[in-house]
A = this chain, B = another copy of it.
Amino acid sequence: MRALRTGSKELIKEINRFKVLNIIRHQQPVSRSEIAKQCDLGVSTLSYIIEELKTQRLIYEVGEATSTGGRKAKLLRFNKDHGYIISVKIEEEQILTALTNMEGEILCKRYALFSKKDSPENVTDMIESEIHQIFTQEKKDLSFLLGIGILSSGLVNRHDGTIIRSSMLGWENVPITRMVKESFPEVQVFVDNNINGYTLAELEKGEGKSSQNFLVVSIGAGVGLSVVIDRKIYYGSVGGAGEFGHTTLVPNGYPCHCGQNGCLEMYASEFYFKNKAEDQVSSYSSSKLTDFHFSEVARAAEEGNEFAMNLMKEMGSYLGYGLRNLINTFNPDKIIIVGEGVKYSHLFNHEVNLIANDNFFEKVDIKTELVFSGLNDDAWFTGGALLAINQIFQEPIYEPIKAGL
């Protein structure tokens, strides 16, 4: 439990400035009196705070509201170009880098390839070089870079900023934020697991806007889970989320790359296709399926290939069991399904709903919404940027921690 900061004049000043700033950020354009009402601050105090924020160029005044019977209110807006954020996604053999403004709007994107042989140091150097190129290309001064958010697969400890283990990258205990910070000592650097990043995007720009407690489940080359409680992402002991993909669905089932057997990931993701085919060689061989990527199996299923259609449906049923267990365990308002699988959801949607909706809370008349994400691939960039932005504008109630070091 993080310790609360001790009360002092500075604390109340900081709290109030951030409260005001966040109201402007999320409800712009707003008038002074509207903010004062919501904050329960005196209008005089508010004017003083606004003055300060304006001289810091964090906000600006623009236009006027229509009169409600008296003097028109001047409207305030957040200056989203007050600074810039770099969002980095580390994929299997490339890094994707984007420049965003302080609202997480993407201004420019780049990518750079690397090979499995490259060390974390090499990749960090590439990140540095990409950032420099973006800033020269966009003709912006590096002093405006306020934060860097990095998304990676695998087990990530966001508190100390290390990638604990990523089997995809073959990395272990890489202190990524510290390494990046060496090149940008003035900038706050954050890492997180990529699905948590996506979840941040859902929270601010997607399905999460209307929900306090929800889960994000990713279906693709594996199964991922991100848990949102009270609009905050839950981080387990080591700082990463859990490994829901490796809960046991079928005792003594298909062997998993993690060393266990019968993991959900082996049944409710791309892996299932290959597992099942190796299990039923005869029906497989007559099916003319050539590979087991989501896209291929989906194409075959759409063309009426019986074996592929069944693969999809069975995968959907297993996913349904996974989701049902999540619902019964977490009692979320909503589950958002994301990832490559969403593109092909029409092929297994029915089975998922059939099983997942048959849950404990349904029987007590508490509904759990099941939706597919409506965001596109830019959500990764948005999420990475939000990782930094949310920290920068966080209300400063707690003692500073060493995160984002």
Say whether B229 contacts A329, CB under 8 Å: no
Cβ-based interface call for A175 (8 A):
no
> Does A330 have its Cβ within 8 Å of any Cβ on chain B?
yes
Which B residues touch A259, using CB under 8 A?
363
A15→B6 contact, CB < 8 A: yes
Q: Is A27 an interface residue (CB 8 A)?
A: no
Stretch at the interface among A61-69, A79-87, A245-253, A373-381: A245-253
The reply on A7 being an interface residue by CB < 8 A is yes
A260 to B363, CA, bound (A): 9
- The reply to whether A360 and B246 contact each other, CB–CB distance below 8 Å, is yes
Which residue of the partner chain, among B2, B7, B12, B246, contacts A328 with CB atoms under 8 Å?
B246
The answer to whether B1 touches A7, judged by C-beta atoms less than 8 angstroms apart, is no
Expressed in whole angstroms, the Cα–Cα distance for A237 and B4 within the complex equals 26
Residues of B within 8 A of A13 (CB): 7
The contact of A363 among B1, B164, B248, B258, by CB within 8 Å, is: B258
Q: Does A232 contact B (CB under 8 A)?
A: yes
Given A330-B242, A331-B238, also A16-B6 (CB < 8 A): yes
User: For window 359-399 of chain A, which residues contact chain B by CB distance below 8 Å?
Assistant: 359-361, 363-364, 366, 395, 397
Looking at chain A's contact residues, is the secondary structure mostly helix, strand, loop, or mixed?
loop
Interface size for A (C-beta < 8 A) is 61
Asked if residues B4 and A12 are in contact (CB atoms below 8 Å), the reply is no
A1 touching B248, Cβ below 8 Å: no
Q: Which residues of B contact A229 (CB under 8 A)?
A: 229, 234
Interface residues in A1-59 by Cβ distance below 8 A to B read 1-2, 4, 6-9, 11-16, 19, 39-41
Which B residue sits closest to A244, measured CB to CB?
B329
With A242-B328, A242-B330, A331-B240 as given contacts, are A260 and B7 in contact (CB-CB < 8 Å)?
A: no
Is A109 positioned at the interface, with any CB of B under 8 Å from its CB?
no
A155 CA / B244 CA spacing, docked (Å): 25
Interface string of A321-334 (1 = CB under 8 A from B): 10011001111110
Query: Which listed residue (B6, B12, B232, B248) contacts A11, Cβ 8 A?
Result: B12
Residues of B with C-beta under 8 A to A243: 328-329, 331, 360-361
Q: For A231, list chain B residues within 8 Å (CB).
A: 1
Q: Confirm or deny: A358 has a beta carbon within 8 angstroms of a beta carbon on chain B.
A: yes
Q: Is the CB of A1 within 8 A of B232?
A: yes
Question: How would residues 204 to 243 of chain A score, 1 for a CB under 8 Å from any chain B CB and 0 otherwise?
Answer: 0000000011000000000001000111101011101111
Chain B residues with CB under 8 A of A40: 6
Q: Which residues of B contact A359 (CB under 8 A)?
A: 246, 260
CA distance A171 to B332 in the complex (A): 23
Does B15 lie within 8 Å of A236, measured CB to CB? Answer: no
- Closest Cβ of chain B to A270, distance in Å, is 19
Q: How far is the CA of A330 from the CA of B242 in the complex (A)?
A: 5
Please indicate the chain B residues that have their CB under 8 angstroms from the CB of A11 in the complex.
7, 12
Nearest residue (CB) in B for A214 is B237
A165 interface residue (CB < 8 Å to B): yes
B-chain residues with CB within 8 Å of residue A332 when the two chains form the complex: 236-237
Q: How far is the CA of A251 from the CA of B325 in the complex (A)?
A: 11
**B1 near A19 (CB under 8 angstroms)?**
no
Shortest beta-carbon distance from A395 to chain B in Å: 5
Beyond the given pairs A7-B19, A234-B234, A242-B328, 8 more chain A to chain B contacts, judged by CB atoms under 8 angstroms and listed by A's residue number, are A7-B16, A9-B12, A11-B12, A12-B12, A243-B361, A248-B324, A258-B360, A259-B363
Q: Give the 5 A-B CB pairs with smallest separation, nearest first.
A: A7-B12, A236-B331, A246-B360, A247-B325, A7-B15
